[in-house]
Amino acid sequence: MVPPLTVERLSFAWPNGRPALRHCTLQIPQPGLWMLVGSNGSGKSTLLRLVAGLLEPRNGRIQVSGKAALVFQNPDHQLLLPSCASDLQLGLPADLSDDARRHRVAQALEQVGLAELGERPIHTLSGGQKQRLAIAGALASEAELVLLDEPTALLDPDSQRDVLELLWQLTHRPEAPLTALWITHRLEELKRCDGAALMEHGAVGRWQNGPSLATQLAPLQGGGPEG
């Protein structure tokens, strides 16, 4: 199996010269839910934006085996059209027929538990529903790698659990399981992943068992690292 994501010796610096990544190396070996944790300034969000193609690396190589899609911390930053169904149309190929577009949108909404809300105005959705809609946008675009930048940070506890459980299900479904790279600062979320790694000073450590890493970090971070 070709790894869903390979990052080799990736370096990136901001225009002011401040380095964000230093020879960062990372490989996701198979589909599943993989998490990165680290303090502010460790390079986590920068890494996701490089993998998504929003930034250009200074050095190094990124290889993604399929399409990648980025889900932001605040879904309001990526939900642009008035209704759920119309927003999902944005990520669809222009050459799809009308029937194919409707089917793709309906299928994506069903997968995230929003099947009955296609015509619902987005501004009436809860925060958790908006985040699920943002994930549906990745599904509608047929992304195979979903990059999630602290997707539960702005949600209430029930919605946090719902979104985490949704990603677990999507990454472990029998047919065409997704690969998800999830940034978190909530140590309890590390208990629900296939592997977790600590990111420090622009580099990613080795994959570890999520609960074990959470236990290691808890006393060092006062209960959890920032951002």
Tell me the CATH number at 26.
3.40.50.300
Residue with tokens 């027929």: 97
* Per-residue model confidence as pLDDT tens digits over 44-77: 999 999 999 999 999 999 999 999 999 999 999 9
Q: Rounded distance, CA 27 to CA 7, Å?
A: 6
Residue 190 structure tokens: 């590390």
**pLDDT averaged over every residue in the chain:** 93
Q: Rounded distance, CA 123 to CA 11, Å?
A: 39
Domain count of the fold of the chain:
1
| 197: containing domain | 1-66+181-222
Residue 170 structure tokens: 């999507």
Burial class (CB in 10 A: 0-12, 13-18, 19+), 183: buried
Asked if the structure places residue 143 within a domain, the reply is no
| Concatenated DSSP letters of the chain | ---SEEEEEEEEE-TTS-EEEEEEEEEE-SSEEEEEE--TTSSHHHHHHHHTTSS--SEEEEEESS-EEEE-SSGGGT--SSBHHHHHGGGS-TT--HHHHHHHHHHHHHHTT-TT-TTSBGGGS-HHHHHHHHHHHHHHTT-SEEEEESTTTTS-HHHHHHHHHHHHHHHS-SSS--EEEEEES-GGGGGGSSEEEEEETTEE---B-HHHHHHHHHHHHTTS---
> What pLDDT does residue 222 have?
57
> What pLDDT does residue 208 have?
97
Question: What are the residue ranges in the chain where pLDDT is below 50?
Answer: 223-227
Asked if the structure places residue 58 within a domain, the reply is yes
Asked if the structure places residue 195 within a domain, the reply is yes
Asked if the structure places residue 148 within a domain, the reply is no
Asked if the structure places residue 88 within a domain, the reply is no
Asked if the structure places residue 132 within a domain, the reply is no
Asked if the structure places residue 211 within a domain, the reply is yes
Asked if the structure places residue 174 within a domain, the reply is no
